[in-house]
Amino acid sequence: MATWVSKEIEQSINFARVTEMSSNLELLASQQSPAETPPGLVPGNVERAMATNFGIAITGFLCCAIYDEAINCLVGVVYREIRGRFHDGSTIRTSPLRERIEYGAYHLFHTVNGSTYVVCDWSPNGGSPQFEGALH
């Protein structure tokens, strides 16, 4: 049997969910997109990836990543890039990819230039971060 809910009740339920969610700041911080992350901080999904022992040196962590099949590379927003070439929140394009490794929920990509990137999340709905010209 279907239950009918009025628009007013549905809106109040949705408002209650939003109010409940906004009181949990840790949850909100973990759901921030790279563009919403204040300078010096990283998104929660990057923090979780950084806490993982991958057993190899990681060059950087990518958010909103997309795979560019035409040139076999990744484009994404990088955080904690260890070589000091890119600031947190910079959009980069990696050098061509050599190998992909699945590690739990993560995908690690080795590039032909010897870097290893962890993809923390993929760009939703096929969207792409704005590429600003910083090449790996």
**pLDDT tens track for 5-49:** 344 444 443 333 333 433 444 443 444 444 555 656 889 999 999
Six token digits for residue 131: 């590429």
| Confidence bin at 78 (pLDDT 50/70/90) | very high
Six token digits for residue 75: 């484009």
List, in sequence order, the alpha helices (H) in 1-136: 7-22, 25-30, 44-50
Domain locations along the chain: 34-135
Strands 73-79 and 60-68: antiparallel
Does residue 93 sit in helix, strand or coil?
A: strand
Strands 116-119 and 60-68: parallel
